[in-house]
Each structure stands twice: as C-alpha cells, then as structure tokens.
Amino acid sequence: MKKIITSILFVVVTFTLSCSQTPSIKESNSVFGPGIDFEKKESDYRIIKQGGDGLFEFVFTNTGTEPLILSNVRSSCGCTIPEWPREPINAGESASILAKYDTKRIGQFSKSVSVYSNATETPIVLRLKGRVEPKTGAAAK
C-alpha cells in the first residue's frame, strides 16, 4: 500500500512540475508560422497636385518562422490600384505593396487597402489619405 501511495504522489508531483514551467524568453517572443509587420500602415499625401504621382510603397517584413503568402490585396474603390508580391516571402525577408491613387480626382480622399495573408492577423488595413488640388491655372470641378 505504501508503494502505491508513493507512486501516485510521484506522478502527481511530476505532472504538476511539468505543467508549471514557463516558456523561455525566446519562445514567448517568437511568432510561429508566418507573421507580417508593416513599417507604416498609413500614407498621408497631404497635398498632391492633380495628375501627380499617387504611388506609395508599404514595406513589410515576415516576422514569423514560415513563408508568408499574400492571398489577396483589395482596395476600397477603383481609384486605388494595389500591386503585391505573388511569391511567398520567407521568414525574415521584406517586400512591399504598391498602392497608386488616381490623382485625376480633385478633393479630399481617404482610402483603404485590405491585405489578406496566411499570417495570424488578417486582414490588415492600410490607409491612404490626402487632398488633390487642381493644377495651377486649372479650374476645380
């Protein structure tokens, strides 16, 4: 009987100690699987002239341990066209999404680009905002 109680006590203590271990710092800060981190999630053009360069580059890094795959990148309207890498981005590598706003349209704008991927956080919303002013001498519509 003494052996059974000792054996049960040994199993309970061993199980308790194994469950109470805390992960190491490296384990707790790692992103297992793909991860995505943008340098900037918002572009403020402030004032841009009509017909000007409406291109902005959103740079990101795969902060995870597995390849990152962007499955889709969609803009909130047809006036903003996104371009994104179709090939997987390996762990630790950087890439970019180009978003071009149509600067033929005069006035304030605030648009979004949604990024869908195999990362944990999805979608990620990127924002573009600013004001397009008419070219000098051109009449506002």
Could you read off the pLDDT of 79-110 as tens digits, one per residue? 999 999 999 999 999 999 999 999 998 999 99
Is 137 a residue whose pLDDT tops 70? Answer: no
pLDDT at res. 6: 63
Q: Which domains does the chain have, with CATH numbers?
A: 36-133 (2.60.40.10)
Q: Is the pTM of this model over 0.85?
A: no
pLDDT at res. 15: 56
For residue 40, give both structure tokens.
């900037």
Q: Taking the CB of residue 73, how many other CB atoms lie within 10 A of it? A: 21
Dist. CA 119–CA 111, nearest whole Å: 23
Nearest residue to 117 (alpha-carbon basis) of 92, 93, 84, 94: 84
For residue 4, give both structure tokens.
């059974």
